Chains A and B, each alone.
Chain A
Amino acid sequence: MNRNILLVIIGAVILCFVALDNKFPVLTQDTGSYINSGFTRDVPFDRPVLYGLFISHASWGSSLWLVVFSQALILSIVLFYYFRYFSANIYFNFFYLACLFFITFCMTGSLAASKIAPGVFGGITLLGTGLMLFAKDLTQRDYWIILSITVISAGMDVAYLITLVLLVIIYGVAALIKGKGQVPHVISVNRKRVLHTGVMAVVAWLLISMIHFLLGAGFGITRDKHISVFPRLINTGLAKEYLDQHCEKGQPGICAYKDSLNKLITVNSRLVNAALTDAQIKAFREIVPEIISQNGFARKIVKRSVIDFFLQIPKIRTAKYTQLHERSVTYTSIYKWYNSSVRETYLSRQMARWLDFWYLNYSQIISVICCLGVFILVFFNKVASRQQPLFMYVFIAYMVYAFAGALLYGSRNDFQSDIVWVLCVPVFIYLSEAGFKNSAQKSGKGLTSPQESLLI
């Protein structure tokens, strides 16, 4: 077997560390909705069905371990490509492995890959987009692999798609005005590449819409545009505020849920789809346009989103993965679709309330501080570095991702902790060249001129 393929597979196994240590893939409150949607083909109201389909197919309908391994394998492939295309070192494998072990044992890379939630695809979308924008001399095979992975990853959640679109817009604008010499070289990019990435975003949007259409949920990235924004109205308090103003005591319908709206959403601000009744769905459809059309709504939601954005940026601590109740949607979905895994689920550390990430959070905070230190070093270095555009891209992508998350889901979630490990990827690429960069700088040659940057 090719050594690189073997390395990627070993990397995938290492990335499954948290799941193996937990004795079962880590489950979230949302897992059940995804599993159910994958098997019943019912498109959820507030998210794309793609991750559900991914679960049902990657697991071959028999084991959630295969889902975790597939996620880890995809992440391992993308990470490998990063080092293959961005590091000028012939021993890039060494730094690829170092980075992989680092995000597994010191950051949340392994946790993201080990849970049955689409979080890991957020990071993969960012990395894949980075490859599409900056990687030089991509082979035909690698181009299509990266393109497919990024399209599918972006389709896993609306926020990832929005992130992708915003990144295309930012780099598109930079590419358009590049000729006028008004754009610093760190964010300038080849126009053809931006075009490719833009097409990729459109393909991702079309793919999800088409799948939804084929499953009878209409042509769009969510099944119902009104209901899909309802969780956000709940977690901003706007829904409660509206109902307080318009409901009279004892009034039936949506008013009956006025004080228990939070029960309709999970900790990650997603709708508990299985818990929704037809009457509720009808009521939400009626109420959401009314709330949105209120005077001052736009101002309130923008203000709240901006606050959430700033709250989201430093929110890198991972959530608590608590024991699941036997009547929870996640547990019942495992019972229904993966019945042979029920015993295994019970034996997991998570179900025994023995899954704790206190020290991982601690080391993640230290790691992020160190990474930011390198970022500052690279940005404020008098001599322009070849890796500066990549550092800038990862920084922008991190911010855009936080913005998309804040806009759609607020800040009461671990959205950012799922992708914070991407910050260390450019750092390891930088380190892979640090040795001969120094010698090159001493001799006044190579690597230091912007012409030698990652840009084509």
Chain B
Amino acid sequence: MNKQITPTYKNILAIITATVVLCFMAFHNRYPLIFNCDSAMYIEAANMGMVRADRPILYGLFVMFMSLHKSLWLVVVVQAMIVAFVVNCYFRYFTSAANYIPYYLSFIVLISFFMGGSFVTSWLMPDVFTPLSILCIGLLLFIEKLKLAELIVISILTVVSIAMHNSHFFICLSFTLLLLAGFAFRQIRYKYQAAGIQIKRLLFTIVLVVVSNVFLSAVHYKYSGEFKASRGGPIFLMGSFIEMGVVDTYLAENCGRKNYKLCQYRKALPNNFMWASKSPIHKTGGWEGNELEYSAIIKDILTTPAYLKTVVYNSIILTSKQFFHFETGEAGVPLETVVNVIQDYYPNEALRFMNARQSNGTLHFEFINHTQTLIVGICLFLFLLVFIYGKLTVRFRLLIIFILTALLLNAWFCGTFSGVYPRYQDRLVWLLPLPLFLYAMELAVTDNLFYSIKKKLNLLYVEKRGITD
């Protein structure tokens, strides 16, 4: 079937509409949403030109430049525009449907009003770049016929998105390497072939992932003189190991033989190890001062089978927990630090920020959380059916596997190495309905959508014991 091209102006109009819809949560709040105190840290670090030990500077720079030092609204609009554009590419290229705009806008409405899509976009946090990096990788792999200009834009977006947060590089690298490993198996190779996934594109994507790390290192080098992308890895891992309880056992068994600074606090290790104000980490030399000691402890734990067993068991449990822990709305009443940062760097917006729903504690997410849970349940149910009954084409099935794997890897990485927090999964979970919308669009090309669904449902009514004629 020849695809009729939707006029460019219509497409641009659709992207603008999607951008506005995606900003819904910021409009509802009357100001972009802030995360205590991380948003403030990003803004402060970038404006002071300081690379913090616990996070990359890049998102801070993004906020600083996109806001033009004037308004944080501009940051949210740019974030929404990027999301709208990338999602648009899927609807434009993934199927042969000509009239994709209604489906595209329906998807945007669903993720904005009934899931966490708008929240993630309207939040001044690099979390919005996690789904973007996954979506960009998906575009590079699944869409062969991207125009050169779009290919360049998507590649740049991939590099920048991955560099925005410490976790992105590891998630994307393990993700792409896992996909690469699939080429070693003939069965999977055939499926890749059927879905149009080429090894050339995959290798190109892996190069982009590596480039993003080099790019971030170069940015850090410019600001701190140190060519290093990821920071605070051992500290995050230590915090997670403490929550797993393995550090308690390790210290109880080893403090007699090894003279760690942490030993004197072993009976008072808080759960919130990294951020608690009275945490031993602050009493024994801070993040940088403890990196060597914690690295030694981590190495010991990971190379001792008894401890490793506990880590692996806990990792499975934490991954499962994180996978289903996707509540949206981690936007509490801002602390004084955040208010001060807004007053310092965006003084003309301070009043608006103070009057926002978030600042007044009147921002509620119960409804969205409930609908999001229902939608996730429905998506998982439908995906399960797809695989049980072998429905949909290989290409769609691979897209579903692609998104589920991304969610699973994200859950594994964040749950195991940082801890189980709803925002880690909330940032990605709204990608789940995407394959269903694309499939609905594909159905509509070949047949009337509702007729096709009815036909498929009718197929389910086949009795097993010959009761009817």
Q: Using a CB–CB distance below 8 Å, which chain A residues touch chain B?
A: 3, 7, 10, 13-14, 16-17, 20-21, 23, 63, 65, 87-94, 97-98, 101, 104-106, 340-344, 346-347, 356, 358-360, 362-363, 386, 433-436, 439-440, 443, 445-447, 452
> Which residues of B320-343 have CB atoms within 8 Å of chain A's CB atoms?
320-321, 323-325, 327
State in angstroms the CA–CA spacing of A362 and B373 once bound together.
14
State in angstroms the CA–CA spacing of A433 and B416 once bound together.
45
State in angstroms the CA–CA spacing of A435 and B244 once bound together.
50
**Which A residues lie within 8 Å of B271 (CB)?**
343, 346-347
Q: How many A-B residue pairs have CB under 8 A?
A: 112
A302 vs chain B, min Cβ distance (A): 41
State in angstroms the CA–CA spacing of A362 and B460 once bound together.
30
Answer whether residue B367 sits at the interface, using C-beta atoms and an 8 A cutoff: yes
Does A101 contact B325, Cβ atoms closer than 8 Å?
A: no
Closest to B371 in A: A359
Answer whether residue B148 sits at the interface, using C-beta atoms and an 8 A cutoff: no
Does A93 contact B325, Cβ atoms closer than 8 Å?
A: no
Does B320 contact A94, Cβ atoms closer than 8 Å?
A: no
Q: List 29 A-B contacts (CB under 8 A).
A: A7-B388, A10-B384, A16-B320, A20-B320, A20-B323, A23-B420, A63-B317, A88-B463, A88-B467, A89-B463, A90-B464, A97-B381, A97-B385, A98-B381, A101-B377, A101-B380, A105-B374, A105-B377, A341-B245, A343-B244, A343-B245, A343-B271, A344-B245, A358-B366, A433-B463, A436-B461, A439-B461, A443-B469, A446-B467
Closest 8 A-B residue pairs measured CB to CB? Answer: A435-B461, A359-B370, A105-B377, A20-B324, A90-B464, A446-B468, A440-B468, A101-B381
Cβ-neighbour of A21 out of B249, B325, B459, B460 (below 8 A): B325
A389 vs chain B, min Cβ distance (A): 16
Closest to B244 in A: A343
Answer whether residue B369 sits at the interface, using C-beta atoms and an 8 A cutoff: yes
Does A452 contact B467, Cβ atoms closer than 8 Å?
A: yes
State in angstroms the CA–CA spacing of A106 and B378 once bound together.
11
B372-398 near A? 1/0 per residue, CB < 8 Å: 011001101100110011000000000
**Which A residues lie within 8 Å of B378 (CB)?**
101
Does A93 contact B374, Cβ atoms closer than 8 Å?
A: no
**Which B residues lie within 8 Å of A88 (CB)?**
463-465, 467
State in angstroms the CA–CA spacing of A89 and B461 once bound together.
6
List 20 additional A-B contacts (Cβ < 8 Å) besides A21-B327, A343-B244, A363-B374. Answer: A13-B320, A16-B320, A17-B324, A20-B321, A20-B323, A89-B464, A92-B464, A97-B385, A101-B380, A104-B377, A344-B245, A347-B243, A358-B366, A359-B366, A359-B370, A360-B370, A435-B457, A435-B458, A436-B468, A445-B468
**Which A residues lie within 8 Å of B467 (CB)?**
88, 386, 440, 446-447, 452
Closest to B242 in A: A343
State in angstroms the CA–CA spacing of A362 and B367 once bound together.
11
State in angstroms the CA–CA spacing of A37 and B427 once bound together.
43
Does A20 contact B325, Cβ atoms closer than 8 Å?
A: yes
**Which A residues lie within 8 Å of B367 (CB)?**
359
State in angstroms the CA–CA spacing of A87 and B317 once bound together.
35
Closest to B377 in A: A105
**Which A residues lie within 8 Å of B324 (CB)?**
17, 20-21
Interface centre among B367, B381, B459, B461 (most CB of A within 10 A): B461
Answer whether residue B462 sits at the interface, using C-beta atoms and an 8 A cutoff: yes
B334-372 near A? 1/0 per residue, CB < 8 Å: 000000000000000000000000000000001101100
**Which B residues lie within 8 Å of A63 (CB)?**
317
B320 vs chain A, min Cβ distance (A): 6
State in angstroms the CA–CA spacing of A65 and B241 once bound together.
19
State in angstroms the CA–CA spacing of A106 and B324 once bound together.
16
Does B460 contact A91, Cβ atoms closer than 8 Å?
A: yes
